[in-house]
């Protein structure tokens, strides 16, 4: 148990305080509407009133499936104020994945954005055995219309009933290395994240924040910091490059967040050079590595506004590569995942949890107030991940003398070829600097001679015809023959997960079919 004397205020209480400070300002805006800070406060109070009347026990899980909507976000805050815990379903997830999360989390309440997910919501409501109450945002032929229920229940002032030892969130991992796991946080682990972001991320003084990526995941972590600064959250329901350009220009957006694949699409779009993007002050990117050559192109064409974030579901944020670090004159720094944020104790440790010397490879390990409490229902995996008082991220990296970290790869993605340990990221970083390469993923493929053969799967830049031998020789020259791909496969597109990472499980499966050993 934590002592309330030393606890952060619950995030839902921080939200009410932020909204109370600027009542007449616009909190959320979307293509056909907006809501003020006061309006958001009233909406949260109304939803909390509906939830409280249901009599669910503290800690009851509430699953939400929604596109980027202000009322869905407010419903999450209201649930936490009422001592309920929220688990966001990934809007791009499959039916099976979403059902797994509902069942695994023991969710008893389901909230569905009926405009975007009417049919999927109906399927989930019908098939999820533990759900007791279904709410819809807007009318549907199932569940209770939450917006209508608020009208009937009447106005009540929102107030925080939650304490530091109540469960706040159950966030599920992307599942890139196996079955998705639920990272559980009580309010005591959740309370400091917004302050940590404001301390180390270069968020503008009055943010005009554009959310394109789902607020159910990392894009949602910038909503409260925006409101704390008295800014406005502009919401788009999906990634439409033309809508992105128009919104930035029209709303004078000064801050946004994209995954690298979105940035590549924007750079290749004919509207880029015709759009005024001069209002942009900060463009955060993360979730996967970005091609250094494309990053330089982005800096030249969009401006020196790029900043990379690094973290994971178990602890976010961990480090940031700031705008000043994105200097084309020091391209080696563009391969870094940044410098640890102030509230994180970050060390590179060996297999015995001893710190390695600068420049040596080891695992990124973290201590911070916002590290998860546990993996829900997975005590063995929790013990393995949180051993010796450190969160073991599974990311292998090296740090330079100043403390900037360079991720080599996921521990589980390491290739053992001819007795050498090879991290795919090292090969990907070389290949991605070639002008003809748009995207690349490197995996180990079963091989009778080498054990695993280094294999590069490449998407070429539009109009380019890369030469496989030239690319293999480039890796030989930069990294040596052990790292050089034994084969290169050219494809139209790489398989992606819902959070915008290359799905190496899918890539590997095509090569490992019928074999005994499967990596990762």
Q: Where do the domains of the chain lie, and which CATH numbers do they carry?
A: 36-186 (3.40.50.980), 193-410 (3.40.50.12780), 414-512 (3.30.300.30)
pLDDT given for residue 516 in this prediction: 42
The rounded mean pLDDT for the chain is 91
Over the stretch 282-310, which tens digit does the pLDDT of each residue have?
Answer: 999 987 667 788 899 999 999 999 999 99
The C-alpha atoms of residue 441 and residue 319 are separated, in whole angstroms, by 24
Over the stretch 28-83, which tens digit does the pLDDT of each residue have?
Answer: 999 999 999 999 999 999 999 999 999 999 999 999 999 999 999 999 999 999 99
Over the stretch 450-500, which tens digit does the pLDDT of each residue have?
Answer: 778 899 999 998 888 989 999 999 998 888 787 899 989 999 989 887 666
Taking a C-beta distance cutoff of 8 angstroms, is the pair 95, 109 a contact? Answer: no
Q: Which of 230, 240, 238 is nearest to 203 (CA)?
A: 230
pLDDT given for residue 58 in this prediction: 97
> What does the pLDDT average to over 318-323?
97
pLDDT given for residue 478 in this prediction: 85
pTM: 0.84
Over the stretch 138-190, which tens digit does the pLDDT of each residue have?
Answer: 999 999 999 999 999 888 999 999 999 999 999 998 655 457 899 999 999 99
Q: Which of 71, 101, 139, 178 is nearest to 411 (CA)?
A: 178
Residue 128 has pLDDT above 90, yes or no: yes
Q: What is the strand order of the sheet 487-490 is part of?
A: 437-447, 451-460, 487-490
pLDDT given for residue 517 in this prediction: 37
The C-alpha atoms of residue 210 and residue 245 are separated, in whole angstroms, by 11
Q: Which of 227, 230, 234, 302 is nearest to 264 (CA)?
A: 302
């Amino acid at each position: 148990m934590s002592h309330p004397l030393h606890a952060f205020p619950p995030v839902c209480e921080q939200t009410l305080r932020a909204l109370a400070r600027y009542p007449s300002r616009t909190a959320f805006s979307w293509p056909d509407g907006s809501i003020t800070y006061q309006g958001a406060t009233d909406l949260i109070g109304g939803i909390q009133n509906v939830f409280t009347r249901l009599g669910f026990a503290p800690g009851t899980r509430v699953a939400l499936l929604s596109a980027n909507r202000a009322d869905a976000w407010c419903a999450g805050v209201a649930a936490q104020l009422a001592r309920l815990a929220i688990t966001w379903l990934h809007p791009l997830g499959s039916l099976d994945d979403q059902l797994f999360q509902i069942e695994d989390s023991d969710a008893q309440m389901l909230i569905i954005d009926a405009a975007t997910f009417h049919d999927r919501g109906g399927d989930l409501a019908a098939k999820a055995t533990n759900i007791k109450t279904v709410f819809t945002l807007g009318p549907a032929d199932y569940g209770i219309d939450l917006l209508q229920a608020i009208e009937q229940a009447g106005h009540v002032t929102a107030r925080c009933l939650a304490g530091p030892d109540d469960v706040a969130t159950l966030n599920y991992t992307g599942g890139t290395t196996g079955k998705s796991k639920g990272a559980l946080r009580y309010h005591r682990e959740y309370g400091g994240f917004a302050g940590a972001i404001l301390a180390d991320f270069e968020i503008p003084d009055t943010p005009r924040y554009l959310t394109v990526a789902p607020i159910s995941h990392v894009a949602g972590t910038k909503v409260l910091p925006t409101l704390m600064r008295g800014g406005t959250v502009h919401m788009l329901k999906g990634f439409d490059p033309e809508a992105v350009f128009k919104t930035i220009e029209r709303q004078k957006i000064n801050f946004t967040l994209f995954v690298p694949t979105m940035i590549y699409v924007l750079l290749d779009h004919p509207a880029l050079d015709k759009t005024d993007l001069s209002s942009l002050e900060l463009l955060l990117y993360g979730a996967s590595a970005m091609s250094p050559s494309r990053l330089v192109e982005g800096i030249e064409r969009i401006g020196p506004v790029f900043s990379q974030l690094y973290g994971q579901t178990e602890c976010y944020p961990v480090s940031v590569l700031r705008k000043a670090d994105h200097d084309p004159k020091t391209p080696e720094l563009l391969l870094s995942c940044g410098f640890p944020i102030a509230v994180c104790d970050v060390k590179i440790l060996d297999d015995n949890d001893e710190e390695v010397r600068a420049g040596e490879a080891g695992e990124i390990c973290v201590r911070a107030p916002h590290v998860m409490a546990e993996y829900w229902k997975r005590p063995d995996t929790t013990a393995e991940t949180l051993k010796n008082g450190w969160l073991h991220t599974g990311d292998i990296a090296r740090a330079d003398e100043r403390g900037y970290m360079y991720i080599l790869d996921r521990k589980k993605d390491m290739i053992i070829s001819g007795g050498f340990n090879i991290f795919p990221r090292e090969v990907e970083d070389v290949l991605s600097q070639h002008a003809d390469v748009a995207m690349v993923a490197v995996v180990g493929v079963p091989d009778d001679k080498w054990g695993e053969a280094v294999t590069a799967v490449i998407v070429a830049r539009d109009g380019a015809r890369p030469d496989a031998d030239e690319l293999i020789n480039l890796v030989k020259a930069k990294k040596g023959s052990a790292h050089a791909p034994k084969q290169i496969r050219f494809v139209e597109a790489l398989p992606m997960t819902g959070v915008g990472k290359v799905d190496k499980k899918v890539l590997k499966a095509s090569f490992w079919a019928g074999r005994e050993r499967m990596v990762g």
